[in-house]
Structure 1
């Protein structure tokens, strides 16, 4: 008896392999890559601005001496002002550089929230340059008296601040370019519903789905050959059983 295989049936869709989403994030577009390099350039310029700010301490000292000496303040008060200025330049400068690098990392990773947060940081940078681009005020307390002083920034610091703003504007335009929409899509969009990557699916894998109206596959029952009766007397109780397989007995 020969077995006739049934007709062709549709191939059932296999569930995705556990831990592996069916599709990954697309390669980084050129616009997003340009914004990444522009943000790195902004971080480098911010580091340069720290150095320029520290080298202009002599000019700041002269401005403070001219404003505080007529008020009767000595060299100790002026040195206190200088220490405050150095601390502000170093601390806020390092924080700015780290923020630039952090945003570059997340932009290259395709994080949508990084574009929003970078836009907020850009607005703060513009506000800082507009408010403190020419003058800023510093205060120090000596005893019971608080003294304010206005410090004029050097031309190099002001120009560099506007260059950083232009670099940030270029990065802003690049990472909001419409060609980046698929790259900055949230990570949940790359995994099918019910598969919270990297965790296993809840409730097991889905059943195979077949086209509507297509008959469900019916597989034939297994057919086994009939074993011929060997005849003879029934075996006595306790006697070893002989095999019923005709192929296990050699021909006589």
Structure 2
């Protein structure tokens, strides 16, 4: 009951009575569930485990490789001699064309029983020179290829060089009796060069160089 003339006091909320939310209070509004992926972790922290699994371990940078293994003197000398062999192959091509008259005489003597005509002899001479040129250019390419591969420490290159060197020595020795003058001298130098290169490739320090390069691959 209130006395007339006195202001009405505001009612105090009943603590046992549930209060109604204020529709104008933004904090009283119900919060919507957050959808979408979780926030990205900060720099340096491991990410969340997928599907409740174990947390992923941090990734570390790979250890940088050591300095390349330097080639021993035996390999360096063998590579230089291989380039010399490539130059000798070019000299052999030039020498074949420079001595084509002597080659013509050899072909005439070898084909005396077949009685070749001059035109047929010229054709045989040109074919022989073309074959010598192609074989010589292939030899130049093989010399350079083996020089680069062995200089890089490729173990397979030493094996290929050994096989090619052995074949070169055998074929040169077989044909040595048919040659004379500058051609014979060039063949003798080529045989000696191949033998020296093979010895250098199979020295102990060379084998250690190939093994060290193979271990780094």
TM-score, normalization by structure 1: 0.57
Q: CA deviation at 1:174?
A: 1.2
SS in 2 for 1:52: helix
For 1:165 and 1:188, how far apart are their aligned partners in 2? 30
Kept after mapping to 2: 8 A contact 1:126/1:165:
yes
* Alignment pair present for 1:63 and 2:89: no
In the other structure, the counterpart of 1:179 is 205
Distance in 2 of aligned mates of 1:190 and 1:175? 20
Question: What secondary structure is seen at the aligned counterpart in 2 of 1:189?
Answer: helix
Q: Secondary structure at the match of 1:184?
A: helix
Residue number in structure 2 paired with 1:156: 182
Deviations along 1:154-195, one digit per CA (max 9) or x if unpaired, are 32112211101111211111121111233212655226xxxx
Pair 1:36-2:79 in alignment: yes
TM-score normalised to structure 2 length: 0.66
Please state whether the residue corresponding to 2:211 is helix, strand or coil.
coil
Inter-CA distance 169–72: structure 2 relative to 1 (3 Å threshold): closer
Deviation at 1:66, TM superposition (A): 4.5
The answer to whether the Cα contact below 8 Å between 2:155 and 2:214 also exists between their aligned partners in 1 is no
Q: 1:169 to 1:70 in 2, by over 3 A?
A: closer
Aligned mate of 2:146, from 103, 109, 115? 103
Counterpart CA distance in 2 for 1:166 and 1:157 is 14
Q: What's the offset of the Cα at 1:134?
A: 2.2
- Say which SS state the counterpart of residue 209 (structure 2) adopts: coil
Does the CA-based 8 Å contact 1:25-1:183 persist in structure 2?
no
Quote how far apart the aligned CAs of 1:124 are: 0.7
Match of 1:60, SS state, is helix
Cα distance, 1:69–1:118 mapped onto 2, change above 3 Å: closer
Gaps of 5+ in 1: 1-14, 136-152, 192-252
Larger proportion of strand:
1
Q: Which has the higher contact order (CA 8 A, sep 6+)?
A: 1
How far apart in 1 are the matches of 2:60 and 2:205? Answer: 28
Retained in 1: the 8 A contact 2:86–2:143?
yes
Aligned Cα root-mean-square deviation (Å) = 2.4
